[in-house]
């Protein structure tokens, strides 16, 4: 019974192909723009690369299994997936609530491209999401991101889903930070999951990809139609890279979560650290809600140091942290978010823990932080 398998087993089961003797266990990517056509129309066959691709189908089936969804659709990036959903579900005249403390380019898109087309854009922080959703009406859209990137605050998804259901609004959850091994928003009542597979899912800092997962057939069909007509598709080689990575997701994510928990605990009592957020820390303000809805707390830790220079000094003195503006990769990385315009202090850094040995990371980061806070 697949329901009783652990997450590593589920990740592997999701990517193994059907057992057809003589066929590869891991099928190669199919880079096809056009296919041979039959004389008579036949919608069941692949015909053109923007409408369907065998490698997408394999990845989409794996992602749907991991998210607990009836279907998934892949896109060329997380933003392609998210904006395709927003264009499809946020009708002119409706309100869309977007995270004020989440991924900044999502609210930039909503404000710059949806608001001028008659969609009312409301920004709400994680802590305000449920109240904001209580004021939303039928067919309005609520986009929640939990844990939020970069602040790692958490939204109570069960409560938010109950509110959205009562109001008749559509709940979309960005599951990038948690990954489906950290939480399954659809099982908590979300209508759609959107995510960047660029981060922990693909996990090697070498490919951009995104996806949407959901179980309403009409919504998923409309999204598929939107993807066909607007064309933000994933290349087959990229789909194959993500598929290849998914098999080791359980192993990688487990180590990343373990490293993040250990580093967060160390940072909590380090004299150079002003504050730490990690939903897995027992005294984190989000811990109680996170424990109810998350199976793992993720590989990202938010830390505030004295100032901008303190973050640069940390990177300079560390032998293991690379400065990079992504997260979820096998290499540990650090990003000073104020440089991108996130509403965070100058000394705020998002640490992404990779799959290095925990003790090595602990001693490297501990010595790289200046105890005097400089």
Ligand X SMILES: *Cc1c(COP(=O)(O)O)cnc(C)c1O
Binding interface with ligand X (CB under 6 A): 77-79, 82, 103, 145, 149, 174, 176-177, 196, 198-199, 208, 210
Least separation in angstroms between CB 99 and ligand X: 9
- How far is it, in rounded angstroms, from Cα 332 to Cα 315? 11
135 Cβ neighbours under 8 A, 6+ residues apart:
none
Residue 35's CB: how many other CB atoms inside 10 A? 15
Nearer to ligand X, 58 or 352 (CB): 352
Residues, the chain? 374
User: Phi, psi at residue 326, to the nearest 5°?
Assistant: -150, 180
- How far is it, in rounded angstroms, from Cα 253 to Cα 295? 12
DSSP-assigned letter for residue 68? T
DSSP-assigned letter for residue 110? I
Least separation in angstroms between CB 98 and ligand X: 11
Nearer to ligand X, 80 or 369 (CB): 80
- Token match 């105890």: residue? 371
Nearer to ligand X, 175 or 364 (CB): 175
Least separation in angstroms between CB 190 and ligand X: 15
Nearer to ligand X, 106 or 276 (CB): 106
Least separation in angstroms between CB 246 and ligand X: 16
- How far is it, in rounded angstroms, from Cα 161 to Cα 251? 30
Nearer to ligand X, 112 or 221 (CB): 112
Token output for 99: 């995270």
Least separation in angstroms between CB 240 and ligand X: 17
Nearer to ligand X, 188 or 208 (CB): 208
Least separation in angstroms between CB 196 and ligand X: 3
Token output for 53: 């691709």
Work out whether strand 170-174 and strand 348-352 pair parallel, antiparallel, or are unpaired.
Answer: unpaired
Token output for 237: 């080689």
Nearer to ligand X, 177 or 318 (CB): 177
| Residue among 189, 277, 275, 202 nearest 237 (CA) | 202
Least separation in angstroms between CB 22 and ligand X: 36
252 Cβ neighbours under 8 A, 6+ residues apart:
200, 203, 330, 355
Q: Whose CB is nearest to ligand X?
A: 78
- Token match 């309100």: residue? 95
Alpha-carbon Rg of the chain, whole angstroms? Answer: 21
Least separation in angstroms between CB 363 and ligand X: 28
Nearer to ligand X, 58 or 176 (CB): 176
Cis ω before 221 (30° cut-off from 0): no
């Amino acid at each position: 019974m697949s329901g009783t398998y652990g997450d590593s087993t589920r990740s592997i089961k999701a990517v193994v192909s059907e057992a057809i003797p003589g066929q590869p266990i891991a099928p190669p990517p199919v880079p096809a723009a056009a296919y041979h056509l039959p004389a008579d129309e036949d919608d069941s066959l692949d015909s053109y690369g923007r409408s369907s691709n065998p490698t997408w189908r394999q990845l989409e089936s794996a992602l749907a299994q991991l998210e607990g969804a009836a279907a998934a659709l892949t896109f060329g990036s997380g933003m392609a997936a998210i904006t395709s959903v927003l264009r499809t579900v946020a009708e002119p005249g409706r309100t869309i609530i977007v995270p004020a403390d989440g991924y900044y380019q999502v609210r930039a898109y909503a404000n710059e491209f949806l608001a001028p087309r008659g969609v009312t854009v409301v920004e709400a922080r994680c802590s305000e999401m449920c109240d904001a959703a209580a004021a939303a009406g039928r067919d309005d859209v609520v986009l929640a991101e939990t844990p939020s990137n970069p602040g790692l605050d958490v939204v109570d998804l069960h409560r938010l889903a109950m509110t959205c259901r009562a109001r008749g609004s559509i709940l979309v959850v960005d599951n990038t930070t948690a990954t489906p091994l950290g939480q399954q928003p659809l099982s908590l009542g979300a209508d759609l999951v959107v995510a960047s597979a660029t981060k922990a899912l693909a996990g090697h800092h070498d490919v951009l990809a995104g996806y949407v997962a959901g179980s309403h057939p009409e919504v998923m069909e409309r999204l598929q139609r939107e993807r066909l007509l607007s064309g933000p598709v994933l290349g087959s080689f990229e789909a194959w890279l993500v598929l290849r990575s998914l098999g080791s997701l359980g192993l990688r994510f487990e180590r990343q979560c373990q490293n993040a928990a250990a580093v967060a605990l160390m940072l909590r009592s380090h004299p150079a650290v002003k504050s730490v957020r990690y939903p897995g820390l027992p005294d984190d303000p989000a811990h109680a809600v996170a424990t109810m809805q998350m199976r793992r707390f993720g590989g990202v830790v938010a830390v505030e140091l004295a100032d901008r220079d303190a973050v640069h000094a940390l990177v300079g003195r560390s032998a293991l942290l690379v400065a990079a503006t992504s997260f979820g990769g096998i290499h540990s990385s650090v990003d000073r978010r104020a440089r991108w315009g996130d509403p965070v202090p100058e000394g705020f850094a998002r640490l992404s823990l990779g799959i290095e040995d925990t003790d090595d990371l602990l001693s490297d980061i501990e010595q790289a932080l200046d105890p005097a806070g400089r």
